[in-house]
């Protein structure tokens, strides 16, 4: 997988921990916030989080690696999640998945070399009545065929320009 | 001002409802037409979304599915006066799909602006809570028990018994937790409640809190539902601001607050004990039971855990009485069940009906058969852990016991339709693979069995020592079903065994092979 360096500030992580530390079950809240701010959960932030919440580094690492949403390395500017669960499969999700791989030139779980896109599988977006479904960042799309996939990806490029 | 309704349910938005709403505003401005846009919820007729409704003389008229390109022609045809257009659907409540349903839990979905508390109250909201505040905890439990309501999340456990157990548990503080980790493919009813009528869920949780004396509630929401999060937080903010939540709920002197907590993409966290671990900030590892969460749940304290639909059904039960709800349904399955029709189906959507309707009525009368126009071959009922039903079993009524009788589960009542292009050996393999991806890893049958299961299916399909591998798969399924800690490992055999039993040809097997193998279950 392509490696990108992303600048992050330990002080920011410390202030996130500070903000949530009194809340019950704070670790999940902290990890979500760190990932939202930095885009991933840098390995070197683990000791900071652990110390701040009075947990072991192993405990923090264990939680990060348990959940599909948490990532220890940087991801693309846009995260494309293609649903591969049953309802979408019944409507051609596998064809869509193959198309996505071909169009982006990467396998599921990988980033494009330019750091633009990450392709991920997802098992249900709750849009089963409009299968096949996909989500780009936090935007949900329904009835996605290969053609619509291409136009959605194209519109991402345009939005930035 | 003419009121025009454009839904802002996730599914409607995923089909361009936002652009449609914007185009209507632009077009109205250009023509100098007085239009007030109301962002309502969805009625759940998803093949018609985005479904736009216009209100004239107190009646609504629907048009759909509306694409942004249709907006100009709608104005040309004078849709603001409910005039005919090629997308006209007539009065929404008279569309047969909707007219034939019994909307109790989903009575308001699509009618109201989901985050308008005034709209909620105008449509009967908060009558249940007001009533509950005049009742004793035992009376509340009594009504919930009498209603016959069973957990709609999948397990079908009587809600009243859960509440009674939590009520009688001596420890404090107590918690109310809503399981909104709706991860099953083909299921979207929880999402619809949260986006299309969130106050109903909030009211239900508040009644549960009043009943057991809880001061804090949590909604554990899956991260795949960012729009639900926005809608819930808007509704929670409004309810708190208006005194329906907070330090003095409706002047009763009771304190109750609700916080939404996000999951992080782990299917297993829909299992209630894994969900509690996750809420506590840990890996979502399944706990041993007992102790029951009602006695030792969140942070080791008595906790009511209910699915979104179960909680959202409580306000009506308290308002109208348990007997009212119990009158609907059949056998031990009382009330209505919000079925969700998905996959390869011509008319996908939400179908709330009394228990007892058959799968065939659902798939054909409501669903209109497949979207592809090809024959229906298999129907998976109850999510990824549910059985595949062949055409010959579609006369099975929707009822917890009747479905179990056919070696299936009702689960969260999602139904995924497949046409004749489906390969059931692939779907069986996928069931094992999904279990392997999502297993929490605590127990061996689930963690290892699922991986071995996929490999064995590969060998059967490749015709490598077929009969011996079939026997091995049967044995493995038996172990998973009986020795797994929770429903993930325990129910994964259901789709696998049903695929083998009803579609042996897809594996290169015959019915005789299946009979000889003496499969479990």
A78-95: pLDDT as tens digits: 999 999 999 999 999 999
| ipTM field | 0.96
What sections of B396-486 are H helices per DSSP?
400-405, 424-438, 444-447, 449-461, 466-483
* Record: contact B416-A143, CB cut-off 8 A: no
Chain A's closest residue to B279, CA to CA, is: A25
In the block, which residue shows the tokens 């599915």?
B65
Between the CA of residue A95 and those of A37, A100, A101, B236, B428, what are the distances in Å?
Answer: 34, 9, 10, 40, 19
Please judge whether B282 and A135 are an interchain contact, meaning their C-beta atoms are less than 8 angstroms apart. no
For residue A140, give the chain B residue with the closest CA. Answer: B14
Q: What pLDDT does residue A3 have?
A: 54
Minimum distance, in Å, between the CA of residue A23 and any CA atom of chain B? 10
Q: CA-to-CA distance for B50 and B15, rounded, in angstroms? A: 7
CB–CB contact B384 A24 (8 Å): no
Question: How far from B141 is each of B206, B317, B334, CA to CA, in Å?
Answer: 14, 11, 16
Report the pLDDT value the prediction gives residue A4, as an integer from 0 to 100: 61
Q: Residue B208 is inside which H or E element, if any?
A: helix B198-212
Chain Cα centroid distance, residue B199:
16
Residue of A nearest to B437 (CA): A68
What is the rounded distance in angstroms from the CA atom of residue B376 to the CA atom of residue B388? 12
Distance to chain A for B365, nearest Cα, Å: 17
CATH topology of domain B424-517: de novo design (two linked rop proteins) (1.20.1440)
Cβ neighbors of B308 (< 8 A, separation 6 or more) are: B152, B153, B178, B179, B180, B182, B189, B190, B193, B194, B201
Residue B13: how many CB atoms within 10 A of its CB? Answer: 26
Angle at B291 (CA atoms; ends B285, B296), nearest 5 degrees? 85
What residues does B381 pair with on adjacent strands? B415
Tokens of B67: 């694409």
pLDDT at A159: 62
Q: Within 13 Å and on the Cβ side, how many CA atoms surround B367?
A: 30
Cβ–Cβ below 8 Å for B10 and A126: yes
Measured between beta carbons, the chain A residues lying within 8 angstroms of B175 are none
Q: List b or e across A12-51, with b for residues whose CB sees 16 or more CB atoms inside 10 angstroms.
A: ebeebbeebeeeebbbbbbbbbbbeebbbbbeebbebbbe
Chain B closest CA to A18's CA: distance in Å? 16
Q: Write the CATH number of the domain with boundaries B2-99.
A: 3.40.30.10
Q: Which residues pair with B452 in a beta bridge?
A: none
- Could A131 and B11 be called an inter-chain contact, meaning their C-beta atoms sit closer than 8 Å? no
Interface of A with B in 78-117 (CB under 8 A): 83, 85-91
pLDDT digits (tens, 9 = 90+) for B39-95: 999 999 999 999 999 999 989 999 999 999 999 999 999 999 999 999 999 999 999
Contact of B340 with B398, CB cutoff 8 Å: no
What pLDDT score does A2 carry? 47
CATH 3.40.50.11540 fits B117-326, yes or no: yes
Angle, alpha carbons B394-B400-B406 (nearest 5°): 45
**From CA B74, how far away is CA B64, in angstroms rounded?**
11
Q: Which residues of chain B lie closer than 8 angstroms to A127, CB-CB?
A: 10-11, 14, 188
Does 3.50.50.60 match the CATH number of domain B329-419? no
Distance CA B257, CA B176 (A): 10
Helix pair A57-66, A46-53: axis angle to 10 deg: 120
**Paired tokens of A141:** 């799309």
How far away is chain B from the Cα of A89, in angstroms, using its nearest Cα?
8
- Which burial class, exposed, middle or buried, applies to A80 when counting CB atoms under 10 A from its CB (0-12, 13-18, 19+)? buried
Q: What angle do CA B21, A100, A90 make, to 5 degrees?
A: 75
Q: Which residues of chain A have pLDDT under 70?
A: 1-5, 159-161
Burial of B471: CB neighbours in 10 Å, binned 0-12, 13-18, 19+:
middle
Q: Helix crossing, B198-212 with B308-320: angle to 10°?
A: 70
Place of tokens 């006369």: B395
Tokens 């996929």 sit on residue: B454
pLDDT at A161: 45
Domain residue spans of chain B? 2-99, 117-326, 329-419, 424-517
Q: What is the pLDDT of residue A7?
A: 86
Q: Across the interface, which of B262, B350, B380 has its CB nearest the CB of A86?
A: B380
Are B15 and A142 inside 8 Å of each other by CB?
A: yes
Strands B414-419 and B336-343: parallel
Beta-carbon separation of A85 and B185 below 8 A: yes
Is 0.90 surpassed by the pTM of this model? yes
DSSP for B227-241, written as a single string? HHHHHHHHHHHHHHH
CA angle B470, B476, B480 (to 5 degrees): 145
Spatial CA neighbour of B63 closest among B142, B23, B126, B4: B4
Cβ atoms < 10 Å from Cβ of B78: 12
Tell me if B186 and A128 make a contact (CB, 8 A cut-off). Answer: yes
Instruction: Check if A56 contacts B (Cβ < 8 Å).
Output: no
User: What averages of pLDDT result for each successive group of 10 residues across chain B (521 residues)?
Assistant: 97 98 98 97 98 96 98 98 97 98 98 98 98 98 98 95 98 98 97 98 98 98 98 98 98 98 97 98 97 98 98 98 98 98 98 98 98 98 98 97 97 98 98 98 98 98 96 98 97 98 98 95 81
CA distance A66 to chain B (A): 6
Best interface-test mutation with A: which of B7, B10, B224 has the largest number of A CBs within 10 A?
B224
The predicted-structure confidence for B392-444, as pLDDT tens digits, reads as follows 999 999 999 999 999 999 999 999 999 999 999 999 999 999 999 999 999 99
Helix (H, G, I), strand (E, B) or coil at B11: helix
Coil, helix or strand for B163?
helix
Burial class (CB in 10 A: 0-12, 13-18, 19+), B163: buried
Instruction: Print burial letters for B50-71: b (CB count within 10 Å at least 16), e (below 16).
Output: bbbbbbeeeebbbbbbbebebb
CATH number 3.20.20.70 is the correct assignment for the domain at A78-160: no
And the tokens for B490?
């325990």
* Element (DSSP H or E) covering residue B147: helix B137-147
Core vs surface per residue B496-506: b (16+ CB within 10 A) or e:
bbbbbbbbbeb
**Nearest 5°: CA angle at B46, between B225 and B98?**
120
Please report how many Cα atoms fall inside a 13 Å half-sphere around the Cα of residue B265, on the Cβ side.
17
The helix or strand, by DSSP H or E, that contains position B216, with its residue range, turns out to be strand B216-221
Question: With an 8 Å Cβ cutoff, are A87 and B343 in contact?
Answer: yes
Q: Which two tokens stand for residue B359?
A: 């799968």
Measured in angstroms, the CA of B383 and the nearest CA of chain A are apart by: 8
Per the CB < 8 Å rule, is B264 touching A91?
Answer: no
Contact A28 B261 (CB under 8 A): yes
Mutate to test the interface with A, among B47, B192, B343, B433 (most CBs of A within 10 A): B343
Phi/psi at A143 (nearest 5 deg)?
Answer: 50, 55
């Amino acid at each position: 997988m392509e490696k990108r360096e992303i600048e992050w500030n330990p002080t920011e992580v410390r202030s996130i921990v500070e903000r949530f530390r009194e809340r019950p079950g704070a670790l999940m809240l902290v990890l979500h916030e760190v990932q939202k701010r930095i885009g991933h959960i840098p390995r070197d932030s683990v000791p900071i989080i652990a110390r701040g919440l009075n947990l072991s580094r192993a405990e923090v690492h264990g939680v990060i690696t348990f959940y599909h949403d948490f990532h220890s390395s940087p991801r693309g500017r846009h995260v494309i999640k293609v649903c591969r669960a049953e309802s979408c499969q019944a409507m051609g999700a596998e064809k869509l998945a193959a198309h996505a791989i071909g169009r982006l030139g990467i396998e599921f779980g990988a980033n494009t070399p330019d750091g633009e896109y990450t392709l991920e599988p997802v098992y249900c977006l709750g849009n089963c009545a409009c299968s096949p479904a996909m989500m780009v960042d936090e935007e949900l799309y329904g009835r996605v065929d290969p053609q619509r996939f291409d136009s959605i990806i194209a519109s991402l490029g345009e939005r930035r320009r | 001002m003419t009121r025009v309704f454009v839904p802002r349910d996730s599914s409607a938005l995923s089909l361009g409802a936002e652009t449609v709403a914007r185009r209507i505003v632009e077009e109205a401005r250009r023509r100098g037409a007085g239009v007030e846009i109301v962002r309502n919820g969805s009625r759940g007729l998803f093949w018609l979304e985005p479904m736009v409704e216009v209100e004239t003389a107190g009646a609504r008229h629907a048009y759909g599915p509306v694409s942004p390109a249709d907006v100009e022609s709608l104005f040309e045809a004078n849709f603001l006066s409910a005039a005919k257009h090629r997308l006209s659907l007539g009065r929404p409540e008279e569309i047969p799909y909707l007219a034939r349903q019994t909307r109790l839990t989903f009575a308001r979905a699509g009618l109201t602006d989901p985050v308008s508390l005034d709209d909620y109250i105008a449509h009967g909201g908060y009558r249940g809570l007001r009533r509950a505040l005049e009742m004793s905890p035992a009376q509340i439990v009594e009504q919930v028990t009498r209603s016959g309501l069973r957990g709609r999340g999948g397990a079908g456990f009587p809600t009243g018994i859960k509440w009674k157990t939590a009520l009688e548990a001596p420890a404090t503080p107590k918690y109310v937790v809503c399981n909104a980790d709706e991860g099953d493919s083909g299921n979207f009813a929880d999402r619809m409640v949260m986006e299309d009528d969130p106050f109903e869920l909030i009211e239900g949780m508040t009644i549960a809190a009043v009943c057991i004396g809880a001061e804090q509630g949590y909604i554990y929401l899956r991260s795949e539902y960012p729009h639900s999060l926005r809608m819930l937080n808007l509704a929670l903010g409004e309810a708190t601001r208006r005194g329906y939540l907070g330090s003095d709920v409706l002047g009763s002197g009771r304190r109750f607050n609700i916080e939404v907590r996000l999951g992080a993409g782990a299917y297993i966290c829909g299992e209630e004990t894994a969900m509690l671990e996750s809420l506590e900030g840990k890996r979502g590892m399944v706990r041993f039971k007992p102790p029951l969460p009602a006695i030792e749940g969140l942070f080791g304290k008595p906790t009511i855990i209910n699915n979104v639909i179960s909680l959202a059904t409580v306000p009506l039960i308290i308002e109208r009485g348990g007997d009212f709800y119990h009158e609907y349904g059949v056998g031990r399955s009382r009330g209505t069940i919000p079925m969700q029709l998905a996959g390869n189906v011509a008319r996908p959507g939400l179908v709330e009906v009394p228990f007892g309707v058959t799968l065939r009525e659902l798939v054909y009368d409501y669903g209109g058969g497949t979207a592809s126009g090809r024959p229906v071959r298999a129907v998976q009922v109850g999510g990824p852990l549910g059985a595949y039903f062949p055409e010959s079993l579609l006369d099975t009524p929707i009822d917890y016991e009747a479905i179990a009788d056919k070696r299936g589960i009702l689960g969260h009542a999602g139904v995924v339709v497949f046409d004749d292009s489906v390969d059931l050996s692939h779907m069986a393999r996928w069931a094992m693979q999904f279990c392997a991806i999502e297993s929490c890893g605590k127990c061996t049958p689930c963690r290892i069995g699922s991986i071995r299961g996929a490999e064995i299916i590969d060998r059967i399909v490749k015709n490598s020592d077929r009969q011996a591998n079939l026997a091995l798969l049967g044995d493995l399924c038996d172990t998973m079903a009986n020795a797994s800690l929770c429903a993930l490992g325990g129910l994964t055999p259901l789709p696998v065994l049903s695929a083998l039993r009803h579609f042996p040809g897809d594996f290169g097997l015959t019915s005789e092979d299946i009979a000889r193998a003496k499969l479990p279950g």
